[in-house]
Amino acid sequence: MAYPLGSRHHIAHGAANALIFPHVLAFNAPAVPEKTALVLEALGLPAAQEPAAVLAAAGGWCRALGCEMKLSAYNVPRDDLPVMASEAHAIRRLLDNNPRDLSRDEILAIYQSAY
């Protein structure tokens, strides 16, 4: 599953996926706790179901790999986040396969958290 950041900013696909991955994994954890535990286990991390714990574990794993985990580090203006959320919400081929429905406001909240 990909994690769209919208088309306004040029962030390498892999970097964008790493940056958003912990947030989306945490968002989806309540809907698919068993799958979330398997993902964390595959990363060598302890199982967790609480979204904050999932976010901390997966985010720490990405940071340990040397991934930049803040949108601000890619010079994304904070004022662009609402437009990015709208653009991402329009990419239905990705969002329709997500375990939980993601509203535009929930996407915006993820981007704000990742800022």
Assigned domain for 64 exists:
yes
What is the predicted pLDDT for the residue at 9?
59
What is the predicted pLDDT for the residue at 67?
96
Assigned domain for 50 exists:
yes
Rounded to whole angstroms, the Cα distance separating 87 from 79 reads 14
The single-letter code of the amino acid at 2 is: A
Q: What are the pLDDT digits (tens) for 56-105? A: 999 999 999 999 999 999 999 999 999 999 999 998 888 899 999 999 99
Residues spanned by the domain of 109: 13-114
Assigned domain for 8 exists:
no
Assigned domain for 43 exists:
yes
Assigned domain for 46 exists:
yes
Rounded to whole angstroms, the Cα distance separating 16 from 91 reads 15
Q: What are the pLDDT digits (tens) for 28-45? A: 999 999 999 999 999 999
Residue 20 has pLDDT above 90, yes or no: yes
Residue 29: give its domain's CATH number. Answer: 1.20.1090.10
Tally of domains within the chain: 1
Assigned domain for 5 exists:
no
